[in-house]
Structure 1
Amino acid sequence: MSIVRPLLLATLLLSGCAAAGDPWVEVGGQRFSVEVADDDAERARGLMFREQMAADRGMLFIHDRQEPLAYWMKNTKIPLDILYFDNDRKLVARQVDVPPCSLGNNCPNYPSEVPARYVLELNAGQAARLQLQEGAELKLSPAIPPAR
C-alpha cells in the first residue's frame, strides 16, 4: 500500500504536466484550446468534416509569411468566425458567422483583404460575444511553435 500512493501521485503530476503543455490561445480575455495547423497539409484539411466543436476550442493556422489570405469552408459542417492576425498578432480582419459549405470547390472565399500571418477559427458568434475589434491581441501559449 505504501508504494501505491507515491505511484499514484507521480502519475497525477505527470498527467497534469502534459495538460499544461497543450496549445492554447487567448483573445478578448478568453482562453481557447486549439489545434495548430502549421504546414500545408494541416492548413488544407482545417476543420473539414467536423460535426461540432466545443465552445472553448478552435483551430490556429500559422502561415510561413504575412500576406493577404483567403479561407473557404469546403466540406466544413459548422459555422465559424475566421479571425486574421498580423505578424504582431494583432487582429487585422475578420469574417464572422461564416456558414458551412457543401459545394466542394464552388465554396466562396473569405479574404483578409490585408496581410495576415495567423488565422484563428472559432465557433460562429464568438467574435461578437467577445466584442473583438481590429487591434485585439492574440496571445499564444508556450506550446505553440514559433512562426518559421
Structure 2
Amino acid sequence: MRRTILRLALVLCLSPMAALAVQPDEILPDAALEARAREISKELRCLVCRNENIDESNADLARDLRLLVRERLVDGDTDPEVMAFVVDRYGEYVLLTPQTNGVNLILWLAGPAMLAAGLAIAVLSLRRRADAPDDSDSLTPEETARLQQILKD
C-alpha cells in the first residue's frame, strides 16, 4: 500500500514536467539562457495549436520556434529583440498577449465600450418606462363592458 501511494505521489509530481514539450536536445547548456528562453516561450503562441504556448505544444512548428528563440539568445539578442524578430517573421498573431497599440487598441477598447453603451441604453429605457404614463385604467366604457363579458364566459 505504501509503495502504491509513493508511486502515485511520484507520478503526480512529475506530471507537470510531462506537460512541457521541450525536448532534451533543445535545452541550452547555459541555465540562464535556458530560463530566458522558457520565459520568452511562455509568451509565444503555437501557430498550429492556437491557444498553447510553444513550450507546451508538440507541433513541429512549435519546435522550430523554440529552436529559433534559443538560437537568437545564443547569438546575443536581448529578450525584446528576440520577440521583435519572431513577430516580424510570423506576425503579431504569434503573441499570446497582443500588444495594446495601433489597431489592436481599437479591439482592446471595443469590448468595454460596447458594455458601457449597452448599460446606457438599458438605463435610458428603464427610465423611459418608469416615466411613461400608466394607461391601464384608461379603458372606455364599451371596452370595460366587453372585458366584463369576456371574464364572465
TM-score by length of 2: 0.28
- Higher helix residue share: 2
TM-score by length of 1: 0.29
- Higher strand residue share: 1
Structure with the greater alpha carbon radius of gyration: 2
